[in-house]
Chain A
Amino acid sequence: MFIWFLGLIIVLIKGKWASLIVPNQFAPDFTAILIAYLFLYYGPAAAGMFAFGQGLVMDIYSGGLYGLFTLLYLCVYAGIYLGRRLFNFLVPKGQALIVSLSVLLEKLLFIIILTIFSEGIIFSCSFLWISVVSAISSGLIAPVIFSLLSRQKVIPV
């Protein structure tokens, strides 16, 4: 419940925060990190539900295509699901890699979908670099957030 509330707060303040501190595109994807955290400590079902719910809230508040962020966060979930088979999700290095790759997958899918569905949007190379920066920063910060949040619940599923 706490993670759901935290996720909701992140979505609600994200726009304001971006206008004050750093553009959202560069910032770590905290929702993706929370999905990974739930996957690790509460299991795939809880993470899947969270990804779906947060994506839906994001869609409601966003001015983009309906369903876009629901799909993107389900892809993050799928990325984590597949990633944990390739890397060790229990060690910080593995967590960083899995979260980075999942966020990168999300960003790439975002670019592909918008290129197909939205005529007005033109992506340049800088968008790709921004996505890479966001993915790496998400991956680097993920183990730190995991350790902070796991003070409440220590045993990974």
Chain B
Amino acid sequence: MRGLISFYKIWFGIIAFGFVLFLFSSNSGREITWNSAEQLIIEVTAPLQKLINQSINSTRGFWYNYFDLINVRQDNKHLHSEIDALKMENSRYRDLLATHKRMQELLKFTNSIKPPVIAAQVTGLDPTGWFKSIIIDKGKNAGISLNMPVVNADGVVGKIVSISPNYAKVLLVIDQNSSVDCLVQRTRDRGMVKGLSAVISKMDYVVKRSDVVADDIIITSGLGGIFPKGLPVGKVLNVKDVQGKLFKDIRIIPAVDFSKLEEVLVILKEDTSLNYHLEKE
């Protein structure tokens, strides 16, 4: 009987180890999405996560609203004086508005040729703390597919790496495994933005002769095949010329505040790089 138990233990160990090796090997060299079993787990557990998330948000909202009420009287006085100043400023902006309207007409034309977007809510964050990914409440059923770019009003958020019928996993641009082909808006120097931490990213492969300086805006180049050109990625924090290295050492503050990410937009564009790989296969 004892021998039989240890026999089962050994087999359990071998199967578990084999499964882990299988998981590792299935992940190497190419991007994969969730398989059917994993999709089932996500579809069952993600609604629970969504519920918990909403409860936490509501409690936090209630708590903050309570503290806001305490300061409301003081704020009221302060706001009245601010209104007078703003009235003056308002007349100046009326002139600018006329110019803006003309520009908006031009922008409408540009927007009409861009791909459609779909709004999604963030239901969960990466549970490990080491990797930077989020789960959103839109999946295949909403028309989302692999490698679609995810943005918000501030800039690039990440790309879709796994999908199930109603949920998707987004790898954030601040993850250390993420890289985005970018441009420095002012100088047009190209480089690769990679994640370092939640608040700092780095831009690699920017040649030393470029004159990138702090506060320069970094935008997507559109060359990676995933992100459309011109989306804000971040702002240069500092630039260093390290001796003996070919490229500049550039640190970037991401345009998006990832600690307050609640809603995102998925750009419903076809992934050209994926089609290329499929055709090749």
B133 touches A63 (CB 8 A): yes
Candidates A16, A19, A27; contact of B52 at CB < 8 Å: A16
- Which of B16, B129, B169 lies at the interface centre, i.e. has the most chain A CB atoms within 10 A of its CB? B129
B128 touches A58 (CB 8 A): yes
Candidates B12, B22, B34; contact of A67 at CB < 8 Å: B22
A70 touches B133 (CB 8 A): no
Q: Which of A6-14, A85-93, A97-105, A138-146 contacts B (4 or more CB under 8 A)?
A: A6-14
Task: Confirm or deny: B217 has a beta carbon within 8 angstroms of a beta carbon on chain A.
Answer: no
10 contacts between A and B (CB under 8 A): A12-B48, A12-B127, A14-B127, A15-B124, A60-B41, A62-B130, A64-B177, A118-B176, A120-B179, A121-B176
Interface positions of A from 1 to 60, Cβ below 8 Å from B: 8-9, 11-16, 18-20, 23-25, 27, 44-45, 48, 52, 56-60
With contacts A24-B129, A57-B45 known, is A70 near B176, CB below 8 A? no
Question: What 4 A-B pairs come out closest when comparing CB atoms?
Answer: A24-B129, A67-B23, A63-B133, A15-B125
Taking Cβ atoms with an 8 Å cutoff, the residues of B that contact A are 9, 12, 16-17, 19-24, 26-27, 32, 34, 38, 41-42, 45, 48-49, 52-53, 56, 60, 124-133, 135, 161, 169, 171-172, 175-177, 179, 194-195, 259
What would 17 more interface pairs be, CB under 8 Å, given A16-B125, A60-B41? Answer: A12-B45, A12-B124, A13-B49, A14-B129, A19-B125, A23-B129, A25-B129, A62-B133, A64-B128, A64-B131, A65-B27, A66-B32, A67-B19, A70-B16, A74-B16, A114-B130, A121-B176
CB-based A-B contact count at 8 angstroms: 120
B127 touches A15 (CB 8 A): yes
Candidates A48, A61, A70, A114; contact of B127 at CB < 8 Å: A61
Taking Cβ atoms with an 8 Å cutoff, the residues of A that contact B are 8-9, 11-16, 18-20, 23-25, 27, 44-45, 48, 52, 56-71, 74, 110, 114, 117-118, 120-121
Candidates B17, B127, B171; contact of A58 at CB < 8 Å: B127
Chain B neighbourhood of A16, CB < 8 A: 52-53, 56, 124-125
Chain A neighbourhood of B195, CB < 8 A: 120
With contacts A61-B124, A63-B175, A66-B27 known, is A52 near B16, CB below 8 A? yes
With contacts A8-B45, A57-B45 known, is A18 near B23, CB below 8 A? no
